[in-house]
């Protein structure tokens, strides 16, 4: 991997970073395609806005060197050797195909609260609808972030959402999830759960703590652990994963074979299963 600092953006040159796959594999809902530009996205993370665009094997991230080093290098997990991880995960023919198909996916190191809240929203939902609800939540309750003459919005702080009533979330049309969103926000804001401390906890303990929150089951807890707490061995199982595990492993995959990167294996399987189910264009 080569990193080249230009005047207004940073170039990351590697065959192992694909924006389309990374932003569309169901792990994050804040990066949107830029209208009229191929393979270009605008997003907000940690209260900062950026453009990420791709030309061939080069990804260009807007902003100077200081912002890249303080935020985007870690956010895009650029210090990790995903080629070596794919090789280690190729423990059977199916997993080898899934890993190869998913080459270029990187696990985004998201803000813990954002990951928890967005995956509460994800329950019994599809990616376009989740994205719509998350964007509405940010627009209504997030702090404005200016970027190239346009106004974007940061993800709302737990303290902001903790002060709301369920009816305040009615414009989002998120249904029963409103109660869980506000309940989780209050738990975080009041210190009943410390997401930063959970980063340092063993994965199993972190998942148990997350599941103590009302409305957080196994899948949401594993998603929050993987995408928000950096627990790369967490293994979320949703409908797509259940189908893939049933068809390929009789529903009883030995996830321990994927350790310590079961979460990355999950993303490869999830992406491969969804891609395989799409009709050929």
In this structure, the answer to whether residues 54 and 139 fall within a common structural domain is no
Please work out, in degrees rounded to the nearest 5, the angle formed at the alpha carbon of residue 178 by the alpha carbons of 132 and 230.
70
Which residue range(s) make up the domain with 121? Answer: 112-228
Extract the residue ranges of the chain whose pLDDT is less than 70: 278-281
Write the CATH number for 159. Answer: 1.10.340.30
d(CA 45, CA 171): 23
In this structure, the answer to whether residues 118 and 219 fall within a common structural domain is yes
Instruction: Report if residue 54 sits inside a domain.
Output: yes
In this structure, the answer to whether residues 116 and 224 fall within a common structural domain is yes
User: pTM (2 decimals)?
Assistant: 0.95
Instruction: Report if residue 66 sits inside a domain.
Output: yes
Instruction: Report if residue 27 sits inside a domain.
Output: yes
Write the CATH number for 31. Answer: 3.30.310.260
In this structure, the answer to whether residues 118 and 218 fall within a common structural domain is yes
pLDDT digits (tens, 9 = 90+) for 147-167: 999 999 999 999 999 999 999
d(CA 199, CA 234): 12
CA distances for 233 relative to 49, 121, 160, 224, 261, angstroms: 29, 22, 31, 12, 5
The pLDDT of residue 278 is 64
Count the domains in the chain.
Answer: 2
User: For the chain, what's the residue count?
Assistant: 281
In this structure, the answer to whether residues 44 and 117 fall within a common structural domain is no
Work out the angle between the directed axes of helices 218-228 and 112-121 (0-180°, nearest 10): 150
In this structure, the answer to whether residues 154 and 220 fall within a common structural domain is yes
In this structure, the answer to whether residues 141 and 184 fall within a common structural domain is yes
């Amino acid at each position: 991997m080569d990193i080249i600092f230009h005047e207004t953006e940073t170039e990351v040159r590697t065959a192992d970073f694909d924006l389309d796959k990374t932003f569309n594999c169901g792990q994050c809902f804040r990066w949107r395609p830029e209208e009229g530009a191929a393979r270009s996205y605008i997003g907000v993370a940690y209260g900062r806005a950026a453009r990420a665009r791709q030309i061939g094997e080069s990804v260009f991230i807007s902003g100077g060197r200081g912002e890249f080093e303080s935020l985007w290098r870690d956010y895009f997990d650029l210090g990790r050797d995903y080629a070596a991880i794919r090789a280690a995960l190729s423990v059977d023919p199916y997993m080898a195909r899934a890993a190869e198909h998913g080459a270029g996916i990187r696990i985004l190191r998201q803000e813990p609260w954002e990951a928890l809240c967005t995956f509460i929203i994800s329950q019994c939902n599809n990616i376009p609808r989740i994205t719509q609800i998350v964007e509405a939540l940010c627009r209504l309750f997030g702090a404005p972030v200016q970027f190239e003459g346009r106004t974007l919005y940061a993800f709302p702080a737990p303290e902001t959402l903790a002060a709301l009533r369920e009816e305040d979330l009615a414009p989002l049309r998120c249904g029963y999830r409103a109660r869980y969103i506000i309940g989780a926000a209050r738990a975080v804001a009041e210190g009943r759960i410390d997401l930063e401390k959970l980063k340092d906890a063993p994965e199993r303990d972190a998942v148990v703590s997350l599941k103590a929150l009302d409305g957080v089951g196994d899948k949401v807890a594993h998603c929050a652990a993987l995408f928000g707490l950096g627990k790369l061995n967490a293994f979320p199982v949703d409908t797509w994963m259940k189908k893939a595990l049933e068809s390929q492993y009789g529903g009883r995959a030995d996830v321990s074979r994927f350790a310590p990167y079961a979460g990355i294996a999950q993303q490869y399987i999830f992406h491969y299963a969804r891609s395989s189910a799409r009709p050929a264009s």
